[in-house]
A and B are shown apart, each in its own frame.
Chain A
Amino acid sequence: MALQLQRLRILVVEDNNNMRELIASVLDNLGIGRVFTASGGSRVFELMQENEPDIVILDWQMPEMDGLEVTKMIRKDPESPDPFIPIIVITGYNSLERVKIARDAGVTEFLIKPFKATDVAKRIEHVINHPRDFVSTADFFGPDRRRKVDKNYNGPKRRKEDKLKALDW
């Protein structure tokens, strides 16, 4: 079944003009209903309130406020219009260490540049088709960082099996 992408609204925050336009065109060609763009993350709350995006795409490296700082602000600031919004961070970095840093900041998906249209499509499909639980701890708020289920895992089970409080919202 095809997704009804014309109903989807995406905010793209990227400081590089050419890259921002390219990403916006890719999304447009994929059939995304509304694409909003910005060159920096300092006004992200305002942009989210004005445009009510369903997904935010953030560049990691930006001059004023980088993508991970923006992610933490969206996730943790009491003024945030939507702390649960899926956030896709795009970056040229590809070391596993960097992926972990992004994940710990509360990023939902990680997209490495250069990318193909299919990479963008897969990330969008994934955040729609497989929404993740959120975890809130003293030092973390964001999507559950465990992505893979190890069927052979025999160690202690510290999450659901330990009857942690599950909240519906």
Chain B
Amino acid sequence: MSQSDVKIIKANKNLKEKVGTGDIAATRVEASQNMIENNEVDFEPMAAEFLDALADGVKHCQGTAGDERTAALQSMVKPVMDLKANAQMFGYPLVTELANIMLNFLESVETPDNDVIAIVDAHRKTLMLIIKSKMSGPIGQKGMVLIDELKKACARYYAKKDIEEKPTQ
């Protein structure tokens, strides 16, 4: 591309002129955080929806091979991402922590082989139990054990296949 095809348009200062510059008051941020932490949304129905989608994703992957299976990976990635994104916001930090490990794992895998699908399915069953047992609130010792086990399962797979976990933000 020639340089004449590139145009730089100077930053728009309209927003600065409208609301000024500076920070959002710390008291406001604190009030917002309190609101997040004390929201009373019931995560269970949402979780059930995501876990059903994950079960479908697992089945879908099991029923495919080759390029079709590579494409099917996203059917597991999306519900895992939804679990990771929403669980902590609605009181289940352990679910977010575990789903985050699983999300990074799935984002590092190109084609899910049977080992990957087995790890995801075991993870799904663990999450179902956590939700069923209402293991909300701070991550306790039991939760730490689950996190450690999942990390180890993923690490064993990375070592076996000689792949590296993709970098995250």
Chain A residues with CB under 8 Å of chain B are 1-5, 7-8, 16, 18-19, 22, 25-26, 29-31, 54-55, 61, 84, 86, 91-99, 110, 112-118, 120-121, 124-125, 127-129, 131-138, 144, 158-160, 162, 164-169
Q: Can you pick out 29 interface pairs between chain A and chain B where the beta carbons lie within 8 Å of each other?
A: A1-B23, A2-B23, A3-B20, A3-B22, A5-B19, A25-B32, A25-B39, A92-B84, A93-B107, A97-B166, A114-B88, A114-B96, A115-B89, A116-B33, A116-B36, A117-B29, A118-B33, A125-B24, A128-B19, A129-B16, A131-B11, A133-B8, A133-B9, A134-B8, A134-B9, A136-B8, A138-B5, A165-B7, A167-B9
| Interface residue B168 (Cβ < 8 Å from any Cβ of A) | yes
A144, chain B: closest CB distance, angstroms = 8
Q: Which residue of A lies closest to B7 (CB)?
A: A136
Closest to A112 in B: B169
State whether A92 touches B81 (Cβ < 8 A): yes
- Could you give, for residues 88-105 of chain B, a 1 whenever the CB lies within 8 Å of some chain A CB and a 0 otherwise? 111000001000100110
Contact with A along B30-53 (1 / 0, CB 8 A): 111101100101000010000000
Please judge, given known A-B contacts A99-B169, A129-B22, A164-B3, whether A117 and B8 are in contact too, CB under 8 Å.
no
Mostly helix, strand, loop or mixed at chain A's interface? mixed
Majority SS at the chain B contact face: helix
Tell me if B160 is interfacial: C-beta within 8 Å of chain A: no
**Is A22 touching B36 in the complex (CB atoms < 8 A)?**
yes
Q: How far is the CB of B74 from chain A (nearest CB, A)?
A: 10
B63 within 8 A of A: no
Contact between B10 and A93, CB atoms less than 8 A apart: no
* Interface contact A169-B19, CB-CB below 8 Å: no
